[in-house]
Amino acid sequence: MEPIIQMRDIHTRFGDTIVHDGVDLTVNPGEIYAILGESGAGKSVLVKEIIMLLKPVSGTIRVLGKDLAKISYPEQQELRRSWGVLFQFGALFTSLTVAENIALPLKEYTTVPKPLLEKIIREKLEMVGLHSRAASLYPSELSGGMIKRAALARALAMDPKLLFLDEPTSGLDPIGARAFDRLIVDLRDALDITVVMITHDLDSIFTIVDRMAVLADKHVVAEGTLREVLASDHPFVQRFFKNEYISKRFMGKIPEEKSAKEAGESHV
């Protein structure tokens, strides 16, 4: 099975500041894959490089089988249609209604007629658990959780194969955060998409993430399932996962490893 995203020997530098010094990671189809690490480790920068908002100094990035350094501009535009992005604070345009925000990518990349556009907007709102009445509201009239869901509806507007989420549960209360986690899993399963998320949310990491990469010291210092990452002796992994709070809060919640056959069947 070919990886859906593959980064090899990525070097990133801004002026004299080295952000990545040989980063490798692999995302497989159908996974919920998390990128975590300390502040300033370059998590968001990695995602921006994957979605072609930034270019690394060197290294190879392959997305959906395409080498990003070797594709033409039309191919880049076509590839951009294959993913949706949920930014940390939603990034909804405040002067537009929810419906107008969802319609933006459709208007940019397609010539969908108005009746079909309106149907798609209703479907995406329903998909993320928002009532159709939300379509006419402005972002200032939404709660934090509704903003996240409206922004997610926009990210799903083009029926993407890849969904990128930046701190999707930040700013939500515990109940709202767990409901959003369930929504992510339901969407992954229903739409057969791959999810890449930047997160520090331990509940998300322990309950919905299939595999993860841990960034520290300008490298990926651990990658794999939760159990595989916990086996790392890197100091950051030890500090992040192996402390008294984790021991008490998540005791007994480390999932058993699946067999290769079970892992393959879980996303069918």
Q: What is the pLDDT of residues 152-192, one digit of tens each?
A: 999 999 999 999 999 988 888 889 899 999 999 999 999 99
Same domain, 201 and 255: yes
**pLDDT score of 39:** 83
- Return all residues near 180 (Cβ < 8 A) that are at least 6 apart: 145, 148, 149, 168, 169, 172
Q: What ranges make up the beta strands (E) of 120-210? A: 162-166, 194-198
Same domain, 204 and 76: yes
Going by pLDDT thresholds of 50, 70 and 90, the confidence category of residue 97 is very high
Average pLDDT over residues 70-82: 91
Distance (Å, whole) CA 210 – CA 88: 21
Q: Is residue 181 part of a domain?
A: no
- Return all residues near 37 (Cβ < 8 A) that are at least 6 apart: 43, 214, 215, 216, 236
Same domain, 73 and 40: yes
Structural domain boundaries, residue 242: 1-82+162-171+188-268
Same domain, 130 and 262: no
Alpha helices, DSSP H only, in 160-243? 174-191, 202-207, 226-230, 235-241
Distance (Å, whole) CA 141 – CA 158: 25
Same domain, 55 and 89: no
Same domain, 67 and 107: no
Q: Is residue 66 scored above 50 in pLDDT?
A: yes
Q: Is residue 262 scored above 90 in pLDDT?
A: no
Q: Is residue 146 part of a domain?
A: yes
Going by pLDDT thresholds of 50, 70 and 90, the confidence category of residue 259 is very low
Report the percent of the chain where pLDDT is more than 90: 60
Same domain, 74 and 121: no
Average pLDDT over residues 7-12: 97
The three-point CA angle 107-109-111 to 5° equals 60
Q: Is residue 4 part of a domain?
A: yes
Q: Is residue 114 scored above 90 in pLDDT?
A: no
Q: Is residue 1 scored above 70 in pLDDT?
A: yes
Number of independent structural domains in the chain: 2
Average pLDDT over residues 259-268: 44
Q: Is residue 268 scored above 50 in pLDDT?
A: no
Going by pLDDT thresholds of 50, 70 and 90, the confidence category of residue 65 is very high
226 versus 108: the higher-pLDDT residue is: 226
Helices 144-155, 114-127: inter-axial angle, 10-degree rounding: 130
The token pair at 174 is: 């515990």
Mean pLDDT of the chain: 88
Q: Is residue 246 scored above 80 in pLDDT?
A: no
Q: Is residue 103 part of a domain?
A: yes
Report if pTM > 0.75: yes
CATH number at residue 48: 3.40.50.300
**pLDDT score of 67:** 95
Distance (Å, whole) CA 128 – CA 146: 9
Same domain, 41 and 107: no
Same domain, 227 and 166: yes
The three-point CA angle 160-163-168 to 5° equals 145
Site of tokens 């397609």: 110
Distance (Å, whole) CA 201 – CA 170: 8
Same domain, 48 and 166: yes
What tens digit of pLDDT does each residue of 121-144 get? 999 999 998 888 899 999 999 888
Same domain, 192 and 221: yes
**pLDDT score of 251:** 61
Going by pLDDT thresholds of 50, 70 and 90, the confidence category of residue 252 is low
Q: Is residue 58 part of a domain?
A: yes
90 versus 6: the higher-pLDDT residue is: 6
Average pLDDT over residues 49-62: 96
Secondary structure class of 75 (helix, strand, coil) = helix
Q: Is residue 95 part of a domain?
A: yes
**pLDDT score of 260:** 39
Distance (Å, whole) CA 237 – CA 227: 12
**pLDDT score of 263:** 45
Same domain, 122 and 223: no
**pLDDT score of 38:** 85
Q: Is residue 198 part of a domain?
A: yes
**pLDDT score of 241:** 85
Q: Is residue 180 part of a domain?
A: no
**pLDDT score of 110:** 80
Torsion of CA 201, 202, 204, 206, to 10 degrees: 170
Distance (Å, whole) CA 49 – CA 5: 11
